Structure 1
Amino acid sequence: MFCSKCNSDNSEENKFCIECGNPLNKNIQTTSREDNVETNIVTSASQHKITTVQWIFISVFVLFVIGSCSDKSDSPSATNSNPSLSRTDKQEICKSYISQLFGRPASIMKASFIKEDSGFFSKISYVRSSDNTTWNNVCHIDGDTILWASIGGDGIVGRWRFEDERKIINGKVTY
């Protein structure tokens, strides 16, 4: 009798293959290696059928990979959803954003344009009335995203506050 797994020749009395330990099925008798190879191929093919659930899982996984690798230039976050905003509009948005973050009225905020190359940058300053100190911040608008950083007394920009990053929708900052 030949093993259906490794095709080793085994004695009829054996319950397990002497080479690989595979259980021997005495109901399936094969007389030669060639017969067993054909049986082994059929058995192997039937053991590797993919179920419907597996196909669904594979399909979802493939779609996820394709979606995460695709060009995101069509997504709202990658495009400027505020293309009609003027420089003045953007400065007003920055003033409103900084005033909300610091609990100060927007009317005391002063905006000055810095640059507009990799997004819009504006310096937002205000004087704190309790001690007459001037506070300077920089606001960055890139497409539909706004964030800020402080400007130290030495004029050096501090770290960008990504934890306060917000979206701009229809010219308004979302909170």
Structure 2
Amino acid sequence: MNQKILSPKLKNFLRQNIIWIVAAVVVILIYLSTGSSQSNKHWTELEKVSLCKAYIADQFGKPLDIMKLQRVGNQGLIYISYTRPQDNTEWDYVCQVDSSSMVWAGWVDGTWGRWRQEDKVSISYNLQTKTASFDSIMSSENIKVKL
């Protein structure tokens, strides 16, 4: 049972390149463990609308189904509103969704307020599940949006 499993050339190659082989295996394992996640995706208009609705609903503790798209503006800004059921008042917001983050501003006293940079969230995208996600500023919960 004295068989040669590896040729001398292959043994020499492995010995000389073991670090590169191990590094390649580690990179592949990391890629597989992240679920093929992307943080710099080009969002479609419809995906931006879905993300903005989920973001505003989470920010203000409102049900997702009351979020209404008002319009998609210049430079891809997403305008969302909802009517608060308690007093029938309408609340208007705008989201700026870029490849890896999202931020909002609100309509206050007849003009758009400042961008709420303190509430900016990072967005990631899972290719396998076709799901975008961001961490809630309010609860630290990971919010998932099926796209």
Paired residue type of 2:85: S
Aligned pair 1:97/2:62, yes or no?
A: no
**Equivalent position of 1:167 in the other structure:** 122
Q: Distance in 1 between matches of 2:48 and 2:106?
A: 18
C-alpha RMSD of matched pairs (Å): 1.9
Structure 1 residue 86 displacement after superposition:
1.7
Contact 1:93 1:173 (8 Å CA) reproduced: no
Contact 1:123 1:137 in 2 (8 A): yes
Of all paired residues, the percent bearing the same amino acid is 34
Name the SS for the 1:160 alignment partner.
coil
User: What is the deviation of 1:153?
Assistant: 4.8
Deviations along 1:102-149, whole A, 9 cap, x unmatched? 0001100001333353xx311110000000000001111122110001
Partners of 2:121 and 2:78 lie apart in 1 by: 16
Unaligned segments of structure 1, at least 5 residues: 1-79
Relative to the length of structure 1, the TM-score reads 0.49
Counterpart position of 1:34: none
Unaligned 5+ runs, structure 2: 1-38, 126-131, 137-147
1:139-169 deviation line (CA, Å, top 9, x unaligned)? 1112211000101352x11011111000110
Match of 2:81 in 1: 125
**Corresponding position of 1:107:** 65
Tell me which residue corresponds to 1:143.
Answer: 99
Structure 1 CA distance for aligned equivalents of residues 50 and 115 of structure 2: 20
Matched residues in 1 for 2:64 and 2:47: separation? 14
The aligned amino acid for 2:50 is E
> AA paired with 2:121?
R
TM-score with structure 2 setting the length: 0.58
Q: From the two aligned structures, give the one with the greater strand fraction.
A: 2
Report the Cα distance in structure 2 between the residues aligned to 1:100 and 1:150, rounded to whole angstroms.
15
Equivalenced residue count is 93
- Structure with higher Rg: it is 1
